[in-house]
Amino acid sequence: MCPVRGARRTYCGQRRRARHRKIRHTVPLPASAPFRLRVAAPRRDPPVKFLSLNAHSWCEADQPAKIMDTARLIVSEAVDVVALQEANQLQGGVPWRSEYFCGPSALAVGADNYAQALAAACAHLGEPYHCYWAEAHQGFGKYDEGVGVLVRRRVQPRPSARARAVVLADYAYEDVRRRVALAVPVEGWGWVLSGHFSWWASEGQQLFAREWQAVEEFAKEHAGERICVLGDFNNPTTVEGEGYSLVRGLGWLDARDGAREVAGHDTIPGRIVGWEQAQGGARIDYALVNHPVPVRSYRVVLDGVGSPVVSDHYGVLVEIEAQEKGTEEQ
C-alpha cells in the first residue's frame, strides 16, 4: 500500500470523527427537556428483621425438635437478628466451640449450648449466623443460663469484636438476681441488646429499675446511634407505674405501637415459672427502640398459630426500616 494513500485515509477518518464530535456537542437541548439535579436525600436501607425469644432451653421436652422448629421459622422468615434469653448449657458438659461461635463468654462453651445449637441448625438449613452468647447466672442448680444474639452472615459477613456483656445487676454467679444483657453491633442498623430482666420488685427490693439504669448508661455511651432492646422484661403492659411505664417515660418506643401491621398481643399464655399467679395471658416480651423508626410489622410467633410453640414464652418478630443519608436523583 502507498504510504501517502494510507496517511490520507487516516487523516480523513480523523476529520470525520472530529466533525461528529463537534456536531454532537453543539446540538441544543429542546426547551422542554427535563432538568435532573442530584441532591442529597435519604436512602432507605433494606428493612431489618428482629426476633426475640425466651427459649426456656433444656427445660422443655423434645428440645432438639423445638430447636429445629425455631430454626425453620428463622430461616423461612429471613430473620436478620435473633435475641435469645434463657439460652442455657449444662454445667460441666462436653466443651465444644463451633465455627459459628463468636464470644464474648468467659466460660467454656458446651456442645449443648442452646444459642450455638440454634445457629448450627440454621446453618444446616442453609442460612449461617454468627453466634454470640454471655452467661448470666446459674439456673436451676445445674445450668449456665445466659443471653444470646444471632446475626445473619448475609447482613454482617464478619463477626464483631465489639460485642460485650452489659452487667445489669452484679451478684454472685449462683444468685438468680445476677443479670446481664448482651450488646452486639449490627451493620446497617446500630446496636442490639438482648436482655432478661427481673420483676419490678421482689420482697420489697427494687429490681427492674436498677437493672434498666445500666441500659440507660449504655444508651448515653452510644448517643446518636440506633439501639433496639429485645427480650423478656418480666413487666406487663397492664400494670401502671412499674417497668413498662418507666421505660416509656424515659423515651423508649414500643415497636408494636407504631407498626403498620400487627398480629398478636400476649407473649406468655398464662401461668409459667415465675408467673404462677397469672390469671391469663400477658405481654412481657418487647422490642424497644431509642429513636423513631418506621416499623413495617410486629407479629407474635411460635405461639401455635402459624408456627409451633417451642417455649413457655412466644416469640416477637419485628420488621423495622433503617434509613441513612445518601444521594438519589430527584
What backbone phi and psi angles, to 5 degrees, belong to 248? Answer: -65, -40
Tally DSSP H helices, then E strands, for the chain: 5, 18
Eight-class DSSP state of 161: S
Q: Residue 48 — pLDDT band, cuts 50, 70, 90? A: very high
Q: Coil, helix or strand for 163?
A: coil
Predicted local distance difference test score (pLDDT) of residue 325: 34
Predicted local distance difference test score (pLDDT) of residue 230: 99
Q: Residue 14 — pLDDT band, cuts 50, 70, 90? A: low
Predicted local distance difference test score (pLDDT) of residue 278: 79
Predicted local distance difference test score (pLDDT) of residue 323: 67
Per-residue pLDDT at 125 exceeds 90: yes
Q: Coil, helix or strand for 16?
A: helix
| pLDDT tens digits, one per residue of 149-183 | 999 999 999 999 999 999 999 999 999 999 999 99
Predicted local distance difference test score (pLDDT) of residue 276: 82
| pLDDT tens digits, one per residue of 77-87 | 999 999 999 99
Q: Which residues contact 130 (CB under 8 A, 6 or more apart)?
A: 100, 102, 119, 150, 151, 153, 156, 159, 160
Per-residue pLDDT at 26 exceeds 60: no
Question: For domain 41-329, which architecture applies?
Answer: 4-Layer Sandwich (3.60)
What is the mean pLDDT of the segment spanning 83-94? 97
Eight-class DSSP state of 20: H
Predicted local distance difference test score (pLDDT) of residue 34: 54
C-alpha cell, 311 = 417455649
Taking all residues of the chain, what is their mean pLDDT, rounded to a whole number? 89
Amino acid symbol at 181: A
pLDDT above 90: percentage of residues in the chain? 78
Predicted local distance difference test score (pLDDT) of residue 328: 32
Predicted local distance difference test score (pLDDT) of residue 97: 95
| pLDDT tens digits, one per residue of 235-246 | 999 999 999 999
Closest CA to 248 of 229, 265, 266: 229
Predicted local distance difference test score (pLDDT) of residue 7: 47
Predicted local distance difference test score (pLDDT) of residue 16: 52
Predicted local distance difference test score (pLDDT) of residue 272: 86
Predicted local distance difference test score (pLDDT) of residue 329: 30
Q: Which residues contact 203 (CB under 8 A, 6 or more apart)?
A: none
**Cα gap 183→151, rounded to integer Å:** 12
pTM of the model: 0.84
CB atoms within 10 A of CB 95: 12
| pLDDT tens digits, one per residue of 202-215 | 988 999 999 999 99
**Cα gap 328→251, rounded to integer Å:** 32
Closest CA to 197 of 156, 226, 166, 223: 166
What is the mean pLDDT of the segment spanning 252-264? 97
What is the mean pLDDT of the segment spanning 77-99? 97
122 touches 75 (CB < 8 A): yes
Per-residue pLDDT at 303 exceeds 70: yes
**Cα gap 99→112, rounded to integer Å:** 15
287 touches 228 (CB < 8 A): yes
